[in-house]
């Protein structure tokens, strides 16, 4: 060995006297590694003394060039020259003095083996190996064994992975014989399938904002790597634009990356590709969301200095369909876990929000779609509560108006001719009783009717002025009659003319007659008024209320139900008492006026 202390670019000269097996020489040297690979700093270089179809016999000098050792790499396989360049330094077939053994092969994919057939002749040693630039490296255990095959026989050689650099090597058993090999799978598409990616060993050295991955290959192929993003473990990894990793002697490095298990490297060679995601890399931040009124609250938790952004996005249009504006928030408090809240207003129902780390070039974007169905459910519940409350109010009001009929209560014009204080109080009590029975929404209009005044101003102007609203709302005119002199009501007396004018001005469907039994008898009613519907108070009060549309027909004659109403009991008793008082006054008035031949005439 010349200059053994300097291995870089040196040459090792040695002499092989007899050669039947592969002799290995292993050199190890420590080198400074990248910061992300300090955990594995030992560089091991391994070479085998193998030759392809070349003579290895006594007296031959073999020169093996030692490759440059870069401080950025640790695997000699990646630093070897390409296979085509290495073949230039191998002996030409014309320089060989003897030919190697002939053989044929058959691929057995189901058995994961290659059947090698030797023609009749001497015994042959066969094996499988992986072709590199200057050697055909044996397979890993237990697939590295060489097998001896007799002439005219075949043997099955199992393999671990079906690779493009998989070769078949054969040689005679004698010393100093030629070894010949065939590497037929370089152009087979199947050799670049799943077996190829299973044979690659990936090592993740990512940290901070640098994504680093080192590869150990079994074939001398140069792969390309780019960054891709997954939305889930069982979804496709979408390529990110302008995210090609830099490769140096098997190390793939990409700067400015938000390290996340969903951000992966996609390695490719030709039409074959494989996605490798960082293993054991916990996300340095996470986000959750909550809805408050018309706002969306994003809760960020981060262990490092970072800036986070969020923007609305239309679902189904991809991650580039951002809807301005973009909202941002920064974590500047150190490496301890910090929680930040970012509040953004709602855009519209059905929209989703994109959340990402914006202080790096490549970041994994979360797509969060707020579930506002519970808000719709809350609005529905609120509407139902409002409807229930309204129904309860209507029901309470209905129960407070127990005598209201199927149609709306019509206004009532109550005409009277009371002269005494007792009669006026009785008319007022009757009006209050009718108001309570008809409900709070119905008006009982009380007016004084004087025959002399009607005769003086004329019946029609006065009547139409008094009942204009009653007629417009299809109300009823209720005439409250008291005892009078028949001669004045139906005779030639001028007082009879106003009664006839009243009947003509108020059609009968709108005019009713009521009287108190203690104040008036049936015979006291003037003949012009006897054709009107008459009601004796208080005995016929239920029928009167039915005529006023205040009581259903099923309750028309039910004094028990009418008297059981708390709101009417007091008013009924008041009317009875005032009727008795008014009757006493009338008796005194009649007894005092009878000698003079006069009477009370409305």
Give the integer Cα–Cα distance in Å for 407 and 413.
18
Per-residue model confidence as pLDDT tens digits over 125-142: 999 999 998 889 999 888
Domain membership of residue 601 (yes or no) is no
Mean pLDDT, residues 275-304: 83
At 18 the pLDDT is 42
At 274 the pLDDT is 95
Domain membership of residue 442 (yes or no) is yes
> Which residues of 359-424 form beta strands (DSSP E)?
366-368, 412-416
Per-residue model confidence as pLDDT tens digits over 8-58: 444 444 444 444 444 445 444 434 444 444 433 333 333 333 334 444 333
> Which residues of 150-189 form beta strands (DSSP E)?
154-158, 166-172, 179-182
Higher pLDDT, 546 or 460: 546
At 113 the pLDDT is 95
Q: Are residues 51 and 113 in the same domain?
A: yes
158-162, 283-287, 550-554, range with the lowest pLDDT: 550-554
At 327 the pLDDT is 92
Q: What single string gives the DSSP state of each residue in 513-581?
A: EEEETTT--GGGS-GGGTTS-EEEETTTHHHHHHHTT-S-GGGTT-HHHHHT-HHHHHHHHHHHHHHHH
Per-residue model confidence as pLDDT tens digits over 359-405: 999 988 888 888 766 555 566 777 788 888 888 888 777 665 444 44
Domain boundary among 276, 300, 327: 276
Mean pLDDT, residues 158-176: 92
Number of domains into which the chain is organized: 5
Domain boundary among 276, 311, 339: 276
Per-residue model confidence as pLDDT tens digits over 143-161: 888 899 999 999 999 999 9
C-alpha 482: how far from chain center: 78
Domain membership of residue 333 (yes or no) is yes
Q: What is the CATH number of the domain that holds 571?
A: 3.40.50
Q: Are residues 247 and 344 in the same domain?
A: no
Domain membership of residue 599 (yes or no) is no
At 348 the pLDDT is 74
Q: Are residues 177 and 248 in the same domain?
A: no
Determine whether 295 is exposed, middle or buried from the number of CB atoms within 10 Å of its CB (0-12, 13-18, 19+).
exposed
Q: Are residues 589 and 450 in the same domain?
A: yes
Q: Which H or E element spans position 124?
A: strand 124-131
Mean pLDDT, residues 570-581: 84
Contact, 290 vs 299, CB < 8 A?
Answer: yes
At 398 the pLDDT is 66
Q: Are residues 205 and 337 in the same domain?
A: no
Domain membership of residue 38 (yes or no) is yes
Domain membership of residue 602 (yes or no) is no
Domain boundary among 192, 213, 244: 192
Domain membership of residue 3 (yes or no) is no
Mean pLDDT, residues 481-508: 54
Cis peptide before 142 (omega within 30 of 0): yes
Q: Are residues 396 and 453 in the same domain?
A: no
68-72, 457-461, 559-563, range with the lowest pLDDT: 68-72
Q: Are residues 57 and 24 in the same domain?
A: yes
Token pair 């039994």: residue: 517
Q: How does DSSP classify residue 590?
A: H
Domain membership of residue 571 (yes or no) is yes
Q: Are residues 313 and 219 in the same domain?
A: no
Give the integer Cα–Cα distance in Å for 85 and 500.
136
Per-residue model confidence as pLDDT tens digits over 460-486: 454 555 556 666 666 788 888 876 544
Q: Are residues 55 and 104 in the same domain?
A: yes
For the chain, the average pLDDT equals 73
Q: What is the pTM of this model?
A: 0.49
Q: Are residues 486 and 452 in the same domain?
A: yes
Phi and psi, residue 503, nearest 5°: -65, -35
Contact, 499 vs 601, CB < 8 A?
Answer: no
Q: What would the two tokens of residue 275 be?
A: 């996605």
Q: Are residues 177 and 263 in the same domain?
A: no
70-74, 200-204, 409-413, range with the lowest pLDDT: 70-74
Rg (CA), the chain: 57
Give the integer Cα–Cα distance in Å for 296 and 342.
8
Q: Are residues 326 and 416 in the same domain?
A: no
Print the domain residue range for 396.
376-400
């Amino acid at each position: 060995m010349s200059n053994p202390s300097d291995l870089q670019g040196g040459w090792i000269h040695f002499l092989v006297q007899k050669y039947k097996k592969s002799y290995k020489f292993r050199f190890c040297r420590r080198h400074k590694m990248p910061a992300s690979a300090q955990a594995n700093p030992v560089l091991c270089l391994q070479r085998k003394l193998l030759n392809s179809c070349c003579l290895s016999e006594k007296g031959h000098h073999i020169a093996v060039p030692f490759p440059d050792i870069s401080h950025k790499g640790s695997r000699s396989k990646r630093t070897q020259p390409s296979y085509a360049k290495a073949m230039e330094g191998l002996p030409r077939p014309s320089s060989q003095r003897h030919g190697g053994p002939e053989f044929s092969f058959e691929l057995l994919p189901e058995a994961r083996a290659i059947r090698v057939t030797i023609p009749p002749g001497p015994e042959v040693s066969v094996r499988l190996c992986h072709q590199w630039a200057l050697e055909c490296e044996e397979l890993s255990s237990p697939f590295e064994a060489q097998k001896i095959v007799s002439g005219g026989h075949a043997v099955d050689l199992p393999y671990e992975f079906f690779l493009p650099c998989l070769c078949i090597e054969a040689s005679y058993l004698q010393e100093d014989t030629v070894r010949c090999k065939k590497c037929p799978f370089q152009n087979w598409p199947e050799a670049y399938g799943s077996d190829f990616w299973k044979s690659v060993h990936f090592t993740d050295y990512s940290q901070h904002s640098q994504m680093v991955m080192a590869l150990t290959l079994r074939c001398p192929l140069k792969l390309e790597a780019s960054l891709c993003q997954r939305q889930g473990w069982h979804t496709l990894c979408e390529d990110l634009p302008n995210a090609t990793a830099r490769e140096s002697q098997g190390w793939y490095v990409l700067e400015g990356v938000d390290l996340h298990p969903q951000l992966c490297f996609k390695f490719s060679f030709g039409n074959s590709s494989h996605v490798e995601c960082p293993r054991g890399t916990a996300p340095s931040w996470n986000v959750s969301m909550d809805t408050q009124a018309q706002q969306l609250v994003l809760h960020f938790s981060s262990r490092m200095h970072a800036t986070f952004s969020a923007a609305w996005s239309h679902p189904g249009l991809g991650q580039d369909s951002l809807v301005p504006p973009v909202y941002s928030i920064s974590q500047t408090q150190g490496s301890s876990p910090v929680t930040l809240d970012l509040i953004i207003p709602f855009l519209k129902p059905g929209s989703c929000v994109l959340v990402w780390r914006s202080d790096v070039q490549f970041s994994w974007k979360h797509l969060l779609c707020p579930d506002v169905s519970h808000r719709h459910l809350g609005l529905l519940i609120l509407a139902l509560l409002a409807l229930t409350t309204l129904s309860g109010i209507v029901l309470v009001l209905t129960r407070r108006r127990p005598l209201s009929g199927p149609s709306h209560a019509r206004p009532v014009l109550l005409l009277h001719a009371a002269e005494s204080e007792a009669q006026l109080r009785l008319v007022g009590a009757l009006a209050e009783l009718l108001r309570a029975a008809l409900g709070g929404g119905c008006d009982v209009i009380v007016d004084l009717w004087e025959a002399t005044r009607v005769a003086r101003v004329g019946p029609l102007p006065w009547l139409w002025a008094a009942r204009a609203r009653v007629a417009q709302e299809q109300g009823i005119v209720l005439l409250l009659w008291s005892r009078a002199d028949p001669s004045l009501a139906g005779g030639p007396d001028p007082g009879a003319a106003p009664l006839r004018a009243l009947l003509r001005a108020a059609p009968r469907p709108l005019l009713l007659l009521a009287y108190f039994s203690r104040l008036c008898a049936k015979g006291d009613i003037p003949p012009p008024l006897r054709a009107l519907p008459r009601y004796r108070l208080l005995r016929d009060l239920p029928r009167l209320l039915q005529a006023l549309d205040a009581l259903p027909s099923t309750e028309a004659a039910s004094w028990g139900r009418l008297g059981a109403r708390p709101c009417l009991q007091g008013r009924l008793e008041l009317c009875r008492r005032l009727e008795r008082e008014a009757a006493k006054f009338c008796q005194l008035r009649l007894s005092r006026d009878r000698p003079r031949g006069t009477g009370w005439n409305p």
